[in-house]
Amino acid sequence: MDAMRAQEIVDSAKEHNVFFNGTRVWIQHVDSEMDTARVFPAKDPDDEMTVPLDQLQEQH
């Protein structure tokens, strides 16, 4: 996923299907300079992690 699309998802009020390593996640913050995103699993909001944007996948 590119930084622009990740930021669009963060700014959207709509729910999106974004996955990291097969786990559905919510994107909290996008760092376009580092090409990373701060995410947490949909089922475990306390398990925050920073991941490379290119490892996030959106399913429609």
The domain ranges of the chain are 3-59
Architecture of domain 3-59: Roll (2.30)
pTM recorded for the entire structure = 0.89
pLDDT at 60 over 90: no
* pLDDT tens digits for range 1-59: 999 999 999 999 899 999 999 999 999 999 999 999 999 999 999 999 999 999 999 99
Cα separation, 44 vs 1, whole angstroms: 22
pLDDT of residue 8: 96
Residues 6+ apart with CB under 8 A from 1: 18, 53, 54, 56, 57, 58
Distance CA 31, CA 33 (A): 6
Q: Which is more confidently placed, 60 or 23?
A: 23
